Amino acid sequence: MNELITMTAADLSAAVAAGEVSAAEVTAAHLDRIASVDERVRAFLHVAADDALARAREIDRDRAAGEPLGPLAGVPVAVKDLFTTVGMPTTCGSKILQGWRPPYESTITRRLRDAGAILIGKTNMDEFAMGSSTENSGYGPSRNPWDLAKVPGGSSGGSAAAVAAYEAPLALGTDTGGSIRQPAAVCGIVGTKPTYGGSSRYGVVAFASSLDTPGPFGRTVLDTALLHEAMSGYDPMDSTSIDAPAPPVVEAARHGDVSGMRIGVVTEFSGDGYQPGVMARFTEAVELLESLGAKVTEISCPHFRYALPAYYLIAPSEVSSNLARFDGMRYGLRAERPGGGSAEEVMALSRAAGFGPEVKRRIMLGTYALSSGYYDAYYGKAQQVRTLVIRDFDAAFGQVDVLVSPVTPTTAFPIGERADDPMAMYLADLCTIPTDLAGNAAIAVPCGLADEDGLPAGLQVMAPPLADDRLYRVAAAVEAAFTDRWGHPLLAEAKGLV
């Protein structure tokens, strides 16, 4: 295997800047890796080989001419296929947008281009980001590089799988109910949900507008922080963007230290339904933090147990509104009977043909929850629960600096195992949903392998809004301690692929 694909993003950008390796060589090595393994992993929906190599050669010319390079110069980045990208398709994993090429660029992908990153392709995902396994993609499931019979998580499963399989050192995802942290955990990599409003949603096709949060994936904490910092900052094109300085996440990742930090263990995230090996690794991680000088205490957040049902009323309600634009009349798939038909018939046929079962399920749930006579009983009550979850966080952060929990109750499950059981699928996001409802920040960092199956388990760290740097302090300390003790088992040595 080419050593360039195993280098960290931090080392790659430094090597390109120093002229030790060319951006074209780095890009070609990753394109070769994609060609070698992606037929099995199926992380990508579109590989932008020609554009990526052309951009890499531009960076090499700039370096040769003495031009200043961006912080991610020459580093390939895989992009979840709901960020609009000029020159590449954006399908959102849905047949209803098959082949659609947007006429505008998302703020985040533009910022990454400006930072010198090479956008190497678009990754597979659950359709319109609705799912926890990437099985809901209109183009077939992605596979977990640790075990190709298992899911890579979702909805950003393609991005997580690409990073875990060494097809890209960095990737973009979005987190609405856990769609960065859960796939990061089951693929053995790092993934962050930034503070809501800390990363721009402009050009990110909406699932649930009050929840959607773009964020980074990486194989190391520092790499993830570098991408986090490059993509963050105020954007006047996004009405929910926070006009405040981005937290110093890179500095925190370089100097991970938990000495004196107050860490709260969420008592509600344990018990029945949690895989013993996942809980064993989580307990060990907490003990490790305590040995590093953190002050650990148990914290009860009693309304977290209601977050899952509240989420599955709020998110589908916003889906019902946001996906009304996909009607077969303006762009994307258009289905109609021979000889034409009324606008209503075209809309009905296009949506029936273009949307998959999970998207249809959530549209119907949301439309029902918002309907006359049910709005207050369902959507209104769910928003009241959301307020109680926020109050639980506020009370907790009055006592501790960060909260910790498992990322997800189990390791990666077999493809198809939960396909016919939506409730079992939804439970994969049990630990991650409260953070999305509250809008604060969270990170998933690997904490070892579960005894039962040898698959990765993850530690979730949660911080108050705009305290994203605290996440990286804790994650970097955990990563460094694992490296010192066991030679870095956190980096995925994907079974059968690496």
Given 142, 155, 317, 405, the catalytic residue: 155
What three-state secondary structure class fits 212? coil
122 is catalytic: no
- Name the token pair of 89: 């398709």
Structural domains of the chain in order of their starting residue, each with its CATH number: 3-261+442-486 (3.90.1300.10)
pLDDT at 88: 97
Q: What is the pLDDT of residue 497?
A: 64
H or E segment and range at residue 463: strand 456-463
Which residue type, as a one-letter code, is found at position 268? E
Question: Residue 361 burial (CB < 10 Å; 0-12/13-18/19+)?
Answer: middle
Output the CA–CA distances (angstroms, integers) from residue 265 to 129, 168, 404, in the order listed: 29, 33, 5
DSSP assigned state of 69: -
Helical pair 9-17 and 49-64, crossing angle rounded to 10 deg? 50
172: its two tokens: 């973009």
The token pair that represents 291 in the structure block: 């040995």
Compute the average pLDDT of residues 139-159. 97
Q: How far apart are CA 116 and CA 126, in angstroms?
A: 28
Contact 313, 382 (CB under 8 A): yes
Q: Known catalytic residue: 179?
A: yes
pLDDT band at 486 (very low <50, low <70, confident <90, very high): low
> Is the pLDDT reported for residue 490 higher than 80?
no
Within 13 Å of residue 346, how many CA atoms lie on the same side as its CB? 15
> Which one is catalytic: 13, 22, 80, 132?
80
Q: Provide CB contacts within 8 A for 456, sequence distance 6+.
A: 146, 185, 186, 187, 188, 411, 412, 446, 448, 449, 450, 492
**Could you read off the pLDDT of 381-394 as tens digits, one per residue?**
999 999 999 999 99
pLDDT tops 60 at residue 136: yes
Q: From the candidates 132, 179, 232, 320, which is the catalytic residue?
A: 179
pLDDT band, very low/low/confident/very high, at 98 (cuts 50, 70, 90): very high
Structural tokens at position 196: 């809501």
pLDDT above 90 covers a percentage of the chain that reads: 88
Q: How does pLDDT run across 192-210, given as a tens digit for each residue?
A: 999 999 999 999 999 999 9
Closest CA to 228 of 483, 485, 471, 474: 471
Q: How large a percentage of the chain has pLDDT more than 70?
A: 97
Residue 456 reports pLDDT greater than 50? yes
**The residue type at 180:** I
Q: pLDDT band for position 272 (50/70/90)? A: confident
User: pTM to 2 decimals?
Assistant: 0.96
Beta 402-406 vs 456-463: how paired, if at all? antiparallel
Whole-number pLDDT of residue 418: 93
Q: Which of 224-233, 267-276, 323-332, 446-455 has the lowest mean pLDDT?
A: 323-332
Q: Could you give the CA distance from residue 76 to residue 93 in angstroms, rounded to a whole number?
A: 21
What are 263's strand-pairing partners?
A: 296, 402
Residue of 84 and 420 predicted with greater confidence: 84
155 is catalytic: yes
Report how far residue 273's alpha carbon sits from residue 278's, in angstroms, rounded to the nearest whole number: 11
How does DSSP classify residue 77?
E
The stretch 14-27 carries a mean pLDDT of 98
- Say if residue 489's pLDDT is above 60: no
pLDDT tier for residue 492 given thresholds of 50, 70 and 90: very low
- For the chain, the average pLDDT equals 94
Mean pLDDT, to the nearest integer, of 434-460?
96
Secondary element (H or E) of residue 264: strand 262-266
Contact of 79 with 118, CB cutoff 8 Å? no
